[in-house]
Amino acid sequence: MSEKIATTGAKRLEDPALLRGEARFIDDIAVPGMLHAAFVRSPHGHAAIGAIDKTAAAALAGVRAVFTLDDLMPHFKTERLVVGLPSPSYKQDRSRPALCGDETVHVGEPIAVVIAESRYIAEDAMALVGVDYDVLPAISDCRDALADGAPTAHRGAPDNLLAEFDMGYGDVDAAFAGAAHVFAESIWQHRGGSHSIECRGSVAIHDPMNDLLTLWSSTQMPHSTMRTLVEMLGRDESRMRVVTPEIGGGFGPKLVVYPEDAVVSVAALLLGRPVKWIEDRREHFIATTQERDQYWEVEIAVDGEARILGVRGSIIHDHGAYTARGVNIPQNSAESLTLLYEVPAFEMNIRLALTNKVPVTPVRGAGHPQATFTMERLLDRVARELGLDRAEVRRRNLIGPEKMPYEKPLKARGGAPILLDSGDYPKCQQSAIEKAGWDDFPARQRAERTQGRYIGIGLANFVKGTGRGPFEAVTVRVGPSGKIHVISGATAIGQGTKTMLAGIVAAQLGGDIDNVTVTTGDTGAIALGLGTSNSRLTVTAGSSAHIAAKKVRDKALDVAAHLLESSSHDLEIVGREVRVKGVPDMKVGLGQVAHAVAGSPGYALPGGVEPGMEATEHLVIDKTAYANGTAVAEVEVDIETGGVRILNYVLAHDCGRVLDPMIVDGQLIGGTAHGIGNALYEWMMFDDGAQPLTTNLADYLLVTAPEMPPIDLIRHESPSPLNPLGVKGVGECGVVPAPAAIISAIEDALSPFGVHISRAPITPPQIVALIAAGGDGKTV
């Protein structure tokens, strides 16, 4: 059955307003009487806080208030933002306060807020706030943090072990004991910040007439934000609304509920005036969550034919100073390490370390890039040691399509077993290496070397868990105007959510996406929602939208059949009309149909149907849809400068059924750019005192257009059996395999020098040092 499940027309509903500069982002909101906030932030990685002198700041012309925690605590019902996802593995509760009390534990932590008539004045006043600091030892490196006797990130803490857990299955000891070969790797991986081009921000507005507190926030999760704030403020949820404006990118860190959200909300209540806070880029470096270091010690056991017998090891993960999300990043990393391959025995110990740095929460990829990098480095090692082709080693171990769905003896965080729902991994790899010219490459490489040029090729397979459940709420409603309204708990952050939902709904109700309005990210519009994260919306919101739209369609046809004295089987919905197939003049408008079931006092509804032309759906999906793919990167390394140029990049991908190829490709290319950044450029550096060293975009490098290689995308579609659309998520997929493929290629290019790379990112100075140190000690 080729049912049309989405109307796509290579256009996006979001574009016209964005292209004209008419879309309203958080900093575009200006309301009468609005004040501006600026946060005084800790300059120390760890310090005790004594007296805070606000007098000079408060006296500055234009300043309306200077608040510290003492001023705000009477208005909070809970002291801390309790936002961590549940886990039995926590050993310490490190929820963070709305503002620092008597201790600050990372540079950038908010200590006081200045509220003034303009941001300019607020910043003037910030400089006048006097804070007594008693500097304490700061712990910077997460491995040092777990060493005996390390200074604790928090005063009075027993140690820096935030959480620890193990996972595994099978008889690992036996697997390793009997193995023909065992190879060990020590791997350092670092990911960086979100750096959406729009930073964070909120505007809190209290309407005293209705006692309604509205928080406009550039957040990925308005409903979670509202739940947290309702608890903290002790406010009736019917008196609070969190609503998103247009959002300029999220990439993960905007899903967190932050102290600034709580402070701005309370400030608006206390001052009786709207309060706006816009994060600037320096604040984004030191106060918005990010990902950072993971240190892996891993071993792989294989038989004489390079078939995997077992994988085991340990991870130390830098958690930062507080729990702003949970243990999910290293959990995802460990969990997804072996998913693509047949791995009979597996064991991983994971420890999360507290450090005096800004908290760590997922950035695009959420732990999957680290898993992919580690596994692919291990497989490259096996290939090199056994003298086998790297693609061949993978072929021998990839789970074959005939085994799908494939259950791994591991449980996901909600307790469900991990089930690979669909995918043809070997075919995906084969398509990528063919396109990339894998088999011919060695000859090309040899020829280039005779010219003194060093090119290399690398490959990486990945899976990405997508479509995180348990649901997303969608209401589809036809209004008396004939317009179709879609309201969802989903949140749009640039990925084309409105176009996606409109397309799915329009496919059932007339095929005209311009007749569909979409409201997302507003707790006032729909009661339940989980927002955007985990590449989840097409799976969850898309599925709910599809089912709701079908229900509305069936009802519309029934009511129209009644009005047209016809059978619903003879009717079709085209544009804004329901008409008899083949007799276009016999029609009734969608608006009329909606009107017919809106009811008139005393009159029965047609056909005995339920009132209203709407349906609300929360399709429950507990199992994860696993997207997969293979990346092949070709690079050239300048062995004298260590400079790396990516010559070509192939990405074969499978995100299930593709509804909108243009949007899917855009997500993959964007993710790939970020992944190139993680391979070669992005490094959020701190010194030993946990002082951030890269706090502007000249020192922290994002990929720009000239760094992008030509990219070939190859589409595979293995529909997921887990949802009625057969779709999987795609938003994070591009970023996952890029560092593994690129670094594998660099290592391949430098094989004459015996270079072995077990870190990401890798920079030119490091490449030059590795060449000088490697193999036969060639100097340049």
Q: Which residues pair with 353 in a beta bridge?
A: 161, 318
Per residue, the 3-state secondary structure of 477-534, as one string, reads EECCCCCEEEEECCCCCCCCHHHHHHHHHHHHCCCCHHHEEEEECECCCCCCCCCCCC
671: contact with another protein by CB under 8 A = yes
Q: Which DSSP category does 707 fall into?
A: G
C-beta closer to another protein: residue 162 or 493: 493
Site string for another protein, 642-661 (x = CB under 8 A): xx------------------
662: contact with another protein by CB under 8 A = yes
3-state secondary structure of 410: strand
The structure tokens listed for 279 are: 């994060």
Interactions with another protein, residue window 217-246 (CB under 8 A): 246
C-beta closer to another protein: residue 270 or 708: 708
Shortest distance, CB of residue 47 to another protein, whole angstroms? 21
C-beta closer to another protein: residue 493 or 632: 493
Distances (CA, A) of 467 to 12, 33, 340, 474, 539: 22, 42, 18, 15, 5
Rounded to 5 degrees, what angle do the CA atoms 481, 484, 487 make? Answer: 125
3-state secondary structure of 738: helix
23: contact with another protein by CB under 8 A = yes
Residues 479 and 598: their CA atoms lie apart, in Å, by 9
C-beta closer to another protein: residue 65 or 199: 199
C-beta closer to another protein: residue 193 or 589: 193
C-beta closer to another protein: residue 472 or 660: 660
Interactions with another protein, residue window 191-210 (CB under 8 A): 194-199
Shortest distance, CB of residue 35 to another protein, whole angstroms? 14
Shortest distance, CB of residue 759 to another protein, whole angstroms? 16
User: Among 550, 674, 716, 728, which residue interacts with another protein (rule: CB under 8 A)?
Assistant: 674
Shortest distance, CB of residue 60 to another protein, whole angstroms? 11
Shortest distance, CB of residue 765 to another protein, whole angstroms? 4
769: contact with another protein by CB under 8 A = yes
What residues contact residue 253 under an 8 Å CB cut-off, 6+ apart?
Answer: 193, 194, 200, 288, 289, 290, 361, 362, 363
Sole window of 274-282, 479-487, 526-534, 564-572 interacting with another protein (rule: CB under 8 A): 274-282
User: Among 1, 2, 3, 20, which residue interacts with another protein (rule: CB under 8 A)?
Assistant: 20
User: Among 4, 16, 411, 447, which residue interacts with another protein (rule: CB under 8 A)?
Assistant: 16
C-beta closer to another protein: residue 13 or 300: 13
Sole window of 12-20, 84-92, 423-431, 609-617 interacting with another protein (rule: CB under 8 A): 12-20
Interactions with another protein, residue window 323-382 (CB under 8 A): none
Indicate left, alpha or beta for 80 from its phi (over 0: left) and psi (-120 to 50: alpha). beta
Shortest distance, CB of residue 422 to another protein, whole angstroms? 26
Interactions with another protein, residue window 700-739 (CB under 8 A): 701-708, 711, 734
The structure tokens listed for 693 are: 């060293």
User: Among 41, 54, 96, 119, which residue interacts with another protein (rule: CB under 8 A)?
Assistant: 119
Distances (CA, A) of 687 to 107, 162, 694: 12, 22, 10
764: contact with another protein by CB under 8 A = yes
Beta-carbon count within 10 A of 601 CB = 4
C-beta closer to another protein: residue 482 or 761: 761
Residue type, 733: C
426: buried, middle or exposed (CB in 10 Å: 19+, 13-18, 0-12)?
middle
C-beta closer to another protein: residue 515 or 532: 532
C-beta closer to another protein: residue 9 or 719: 9
495: contact with another protein by CB under 8 A = yes
User: Among 491, 534, 672, 691, which residue interacts with another protein (rule: CB under 8 A)?
Assistant: 672
C-beta closer to another protein: residue 362 or 671: 671
User: Among 5, 14, 190, 261, which residue interacts with another protein (rule: CB under 8 A)?
Assistant: 14
Shortest distance, CB of residue 197 to another protein, whole angstroms? 4
User: Among 25, 133, 169, 183, which residue interacts with another protein (rule: CB under 8 A)?
Assistant: 25
User: Among 207, 439, 622, 640, which residue interacts with another protein (rule: CB under 8 A)?
Assistant: 640
The structure tokens listed for 528 are: 């339940």
Cα Rg of the chain, angstroms: 28
Helix 497-508 with 537-564: angle, nearest 10 deg: 30
Q: Which residue has the tokens 């009802």?
A: 555
Sole window of 5-13, 141-149, 173-181, 295-303 interacting with another protein (rule: CB under 8 A): 5-13
- Calculate the CA dihedral of residues 324, 330, 331, 332 and round it to 10 degrees: 100
User: Among 78, 168, 768, 774, which residue interacts with another protein (rule: CB under 8 A)?
Assistant: 768
What is the sign, positive or negative, of the torsion defined by CA atoms of 596, 599, 603, 608?
A: positive
19: contact with another protein by CB under 8 A = yes
Rounded to 5 degrees, what angle do the CA atoms 577, 581, 587 make? Answer: 35
Residue 255 in contact with residue 221, Cβ under 8 Å?
yes
